[in-house]
A = this chain, B = another copy of it.
Amino acid sequence: MLRLSKLTDYATVILSFIARDTTQVHAAMEIAAATGIALPTVSKILKRLVNAKVLSSTRGAKGGYMLARLPEHISIATVISALEGPIAITECSISQQGCDQALGCGIRGNWNLINQTIHNALESVTLADMIRPIPAQDAQWQQEILIPVASLYR
């Protein structure tokens, strides 16, 4: 339902934990303990964030992870594509096959507009925004948008 994967959700939790203390590196085990996310899963996410150059890592004893950039320069779009690959609402073939038959392609172009809008929205929010507490007054439109779910953490 146009939903982020759990891993991406976890990633924001992990990143905000790391962002709270930038004076030292954080080992995967420490992060797992602090967030309650299982270690192998934490580890998997951290590796992907390193590949995307969102985090930098230090190997060996006393090793761990730290932010590779300032929180202001880590956009949500970056985090999403680190975990889930490129952000694209529609699956549109660049090779023409099937796409410009009947009614297909007149529609496609307009999806791109939507793609772009969403991408901009995600690009404009950074980790710095995410770790800043928000006013509680906004609770009212949580009801409109969110759907209930059993639990976030397993």
Copies of this protein, total: 2
- A107-B12, A110-B125, A147-B91 are known contacts. Are A86 and B1 too (CB-CB below 8 A)? yes
A98 near B151 (CB under 8 angstroms)? Answer: yes
- The residue of chain B having its C-beta at the shortest distance from the C-beta of A13 within the complex is B103
Given contacts A2-B88, A13-B102, A113-B125, 6 further A-B contacts (CB under 8 A): A2-B2, A4-B89, A90-B146, A91-B149, A98-B153, A113-B134
What are 25 of the A-B contact pairs (CB < 8 Å)? Answer: A1-B80, A1-B88, A2-B89, A3-B88, A4-B89, A16-B103, A34-B103, A35-B102, A35-B103, A91-B152, A93-B151, A94-B142, A99-B152, A106-B133, A107-B130, A109-B133, A109-B138, A109-B142, A110-B134, A112-B142, A114-B121, A114-B122, A115-B145, A116-B145, A117-B121
